[in-house]
Structures are given as structure tokens and as C-alpha cells.
């Protein structure tokens, strides 16, 4: 089960995304990025974070430890912004924390040009995203971090932020577990991911026993509001059934067609040209910021 900690100090909010997570220190002396239950994304984003994150860890991918954080809004009483204080007030109780990676850097397109990722490692990440229908790991929003960035330990690739995964649970479309999704512009596509080798390695490891153990870690309260199910355990059964069916149908959804880095750059240049051509003259002096990577928060981890 996920460890439970209690927030003792609120450090600061992270404003790089709509959920406005916050950095907190806890009674185990750890520092965590906390996603709050009162955010606009709701409980299903937290459910996806737990299921996909713990599945990634079980499959040997690097993903920071998740913990359940007991949060009293009083520890953040000095927060000056009203909207953030309202978020905290709506999030009293158990929230989700992810181990903070100090100094971690986003894998931006610029950094990716020089950062080595092998085809099998890239394939494993793409395979996990395809299995869990994570549509939010693109060349512009990689949700991948490079850490550590100091010392003698070589930097490694870390996965973060899976709140946009498991898209099927928003409407519970259980009729199409073999559905294909467009992963051509996955953040690791330019690395030539060996998705077939990843499928051969990982698919046999996603067992019913493993999935049951993972969904058991999701708090009942985060599942209780799912319409159409009588109990939280019924929701857990739905997740297990869907993911088990999907992994058995991997031959139907396995993504294998990825553009090269040069093709991606050419597509971006063409898109920028079309955007600029469609602007009125007075706007042509304004830089096109669409699709540019977000600015890092003091060089540290950030979530969307």
C-alpha cells in the first residue's frame, strides 16, 4: 500500500498547470509535489496517477514514489493568493504526493537532441502510454524529467504526471479495449522506440494479480463518486477488467509508426508558417508561442 505522511510545511505552489500542485514537506522529512483533491481535474486524475504510476514502477520504469499526504489547510495559511487558498480549503484530508526530484529538468525538444535514450527504453515508455491511453506525453509536453543533473551519477529519464491517462474511465467505454490511438508524436518517437520488443517483455508481466494489487492502493473515497458503480470495489474490477483485456489485445493497438526528428521539425516549421500567414499584419510581430515548452520552475519538477 502507499505510505501515508502528514504535511508539516507548505513551501510553494507550482503554477505550470491548471491543477496548481504544491511543494510540501512532511513528517517523514521528505519533500513532495502534492496534487490536491480539490483541483478542477477531480478525483479521476488522481486515480490515473496512482494506477499508471504504480504500474510503471512495477514494470521497472523510473517513476518517483507516490504517497498519500494528509493535508491540513492551516499549514498553508500564509499563501497570499486567494484561488490557491480556496484550493487548499477544498482539499483538507488525504491528497496525493509524489517524491520531489530537486533540480530535475524537463525533457524539452532542445534537451532531447543531446540526451541519450535507447530504443528499448523509449519503447517501454511508449508501450506503457499506449496501454494506459496516456495522451499527454508529446514532443511539446513530455511529462518526462531528466534527473539527477548534478554529481557523478549519470542523469536518467523519469516519468511524471499521468493524470490525463486512462481516458476510457471518463465515459467507461468498455467495448473497445483494442482501440488504437495516435502516438506518432510521442515525446520519445524520434528515438526510434522498439515497441515490439517492449511488448514482448512487458505484456506478460501485466497480470490480473498485479492489476488487482495496484488498484487496491487507490483510496475508496476517490472511487466512490464514479457513477454507474455501486461500490469502490466495483470500480476497481472495471479497471482490472479493461486493462487486462487491453494488454491481451496489444497486437491491435501497438504503435509502430513514428516520424523522425527531422520530420517533426519540418511539420513544426510548416505549422508555424501557416499560423503566421493567417495572422493579421499587426499580429505578425508577436512571437508564436503555441506549442513551446513551459518554462521550468526554478529548474525543478513541475506537473500539469
What would the pLDDT profile of 162-195 be if each residue is shown by its tens digit? 999 999 999 997 779 999 999 999 999 999 999 9
Say yes or no to pLDDT of 299 above 50.
no
What's phi and psi for 124, nearest 5 deg?
Answer: -65, -45
Total-model pTM: 0.89
The strands making up 105-106's β-sheet, listed across from edge to edge, are 105-106, 144-147, 156-159
Q: Structural domain boundaries of the chain?
A: 3-99, 105-253
Average pLDDT value for residue range 32-39: 97
For residue 298, what pLDDT is reported?
42
Q: For 109-152, what is each residue's pLDDT tens digit?
A: 899 989 999 999 999 999 999 999 999 999 889 999 999 988 88
**Per-residue confidence band for 288, with pLDDT thresholds at 50, 70 and 90:** low
Say yes or no to pLDDT of 293 above 70.
no
Average pLDDT value for residue range 81-85: 95
- Check: CB of residue 162 under 8 Å from CB of residue 194: no
Amino acid at each position: 500500500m502507499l505510505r501515508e505522511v502528514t504535511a508539516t510545511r507548505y513551501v510553494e505552489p507550482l503554477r505550470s498547470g491548471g491543477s496548481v500542485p504544491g511543494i510540501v514537506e512532511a513528517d517523514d522529512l521528505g519533500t513532495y509535489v502534492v496534487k490536491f483533491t480539490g483541483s478542477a481535474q477531480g478525483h479521476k486524475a488522481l486515480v490515473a496517477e496512482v494506477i499508471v504510476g504504480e504500474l510503471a514502477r512495477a514494470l521497472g520504469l523510473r517513476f518517483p514514489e507516490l504517497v498519500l499526504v494528509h493535508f491540513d489547510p492551516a499549514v498553508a495559511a500564509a499563501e497570499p493568493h486567494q484561488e490557491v487558498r480556496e484550493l487548499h480549503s477544498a482539499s483538507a484530508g488525504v491528497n496525493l504526493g509524489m517524491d520531489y526530484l530537486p533540480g530535475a529538468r524537463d525533457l524539452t525538444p532542445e534537451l532531447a537532441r543531446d540526451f541519450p535514450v535507447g530504443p528499448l527504453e523509449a519503447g517501454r515508455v511508449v508501450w506503457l502510454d499506449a496501454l494506459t491511453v496516456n495522451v499527454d506525453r508529446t514532443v511539446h509536453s513530455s511529462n518526462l524529467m531528466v534527473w539527477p543533473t548534478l554529481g557523478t551519477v549519470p542523469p536518467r529519464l523519469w516519468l511524471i504526471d499521468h493524470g490525463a491517462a486512462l481516458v476510457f474511465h471518463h465515459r467507461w467505454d468498455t467495448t473497445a479495449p483494442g482501440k488504437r490511438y495516435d502516438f506518432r508524436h510521442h515525446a520519445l518517437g524520434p528515438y526510434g522506440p522498439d515497441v515490439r520488443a517492449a511488448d514482448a517483455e512487458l505484456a506478460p508481466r501485466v497480470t490480473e494479480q498485479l492489476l488487482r494489487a495496484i488498484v487496491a492502493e487507490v483510496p475508496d473515497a476517490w472511487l466512490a463518486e464514479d457513477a454507474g458503480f455501486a461500490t469502490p470495489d466495483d470500480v476497481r474490477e472495471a479497471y482490472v477488467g479493461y486493462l487486462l483485456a487491453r494488454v491481451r489485445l496489444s497486437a491491435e493497438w501497438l504503435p509502430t509508426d513514428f516520424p523522425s526528428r527531422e520530420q517533426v521539425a519540418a511539420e513544426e516549421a510548416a505549422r508555424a508558417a501557416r499560423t503566421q500567414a493567417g495572422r493579421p499584419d499587426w499580429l505578425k510581430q508577436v512571437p508564436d508561442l503555441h506549442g513551446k515548452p513551459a518554462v521550468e520552475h526554478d529548474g525543478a519538477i513541475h506537473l500539469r
